[in-house]
Amino acid sequence: MDAKIAVLGAGAWGTTLANLVAGKAYRVVLWGRDSDQMERMRSSGENERYLPGVPLNPGLELSSDLREAVEGSFCTIAAVPCQYMRSVLERAEPFYGQTPRVVCASKGVELSSLKTMSAVVSEALGARNPLYAVLSGPSFAEEVSQGHPTAVSLGCEHRAVAEELQHVLSTERFRVYTNEDRVGVELGGAIKNVMALATGIADGLGFGQNARAGLITRGLAEMSRLGSAMGGRADTFMGLSGIGDLVLTCTGSLSRNRQVGLRLGSGESLDPIISSMRSVAEGVKTAEALHRLGKHRGVELPITDQVHAILYEEKDPGDAVQELMTRELKAE
């Protein structure tokens, strides 16, 4: 096909999605801000830093020039970290035509504004009237790249656009379901990262499988409370972008957020953990954003609040768990 697709963000997930779509004969341009990294990828034929051992599709184009990446594109898959989404899209805005299709593949809430990525995209590209969708669900980049069967959800309020993008993204091993509850899909993807930090902390403390199951289940309750308060549908949180992604991220060994939690529970401090990581653990910033968002909305988020206290108030993880367990007793 002649249709051009831009993928913004050359981390593991952006590279995986670019490879996936390039394998369907679209013209795909993968953009990364680091020109040296893009040149190394061009020379080696793989993303050695974020996705080592996975060959890049020979037809995949690589660029560190935003104009070259997005100009004339049929749609954009935005996979840059959430806290940088606005600045990247504002820089790219002059190069878009009208009504570009934007698929957000990053999961989180903007800390400075407490806005979801749909609002960020709308504000950054408002003059272009973007058609927005969000891709979420249980999907580790490494496993998708290896061709393991994966099912995800595409949240989009425009049914025709959703079905169009569903066909762009789906393959024999990557199954995309559409969901008109865009709000629920993107909030589920954001909140599950904070719950993965919590379950990682509990596992790092050696609290066992009972504690992990309890945190996942009560984490789902927090997800549903906040998501419903912000306009999401309750049934969305029982699907792929809710409990599906929650279970994977809270239990899977490839989860960056879970790994951060494990190290915190084992006694390490946050700053050295973050400094040692190549990829961004979105839950660290999202915990602060959701903590503030819960206060603003008047929604009770006890697990999120304790994770926030561990990350930003130097609270002892053991004390945080004790507080959760000794809260006022209530019905489920």
Residue 295 falls in the annotated catalytic set? no
Return d(Cα 108, Cα 81) in angstroms, integer.
8
Q: How many CB atoms lie within 10 A of CB 140?
A: 20
Return d(Cα 31, Cα 267) in angstroms, integer.
37
Q: Which two tokens stand for residue 133?
A: 């969708």
> What element of type H or E holds 51?
strand 51-55
Q: Which of 115, 192, 285, 295 is catalytic?
A: 192
DSSP string, 222-290: HHHHHHHHTT--GGGGGSIIIIIHHHHHHH-TT-HHHHHHHHHHTT--HHHHHHT-SS--THHHHHHHH
- Per the CB < 8 A criterion, the answer to whether 227 and 236 are in contact is yes
Three-class SS state of 125: coil
Active site positions, annotated: 192
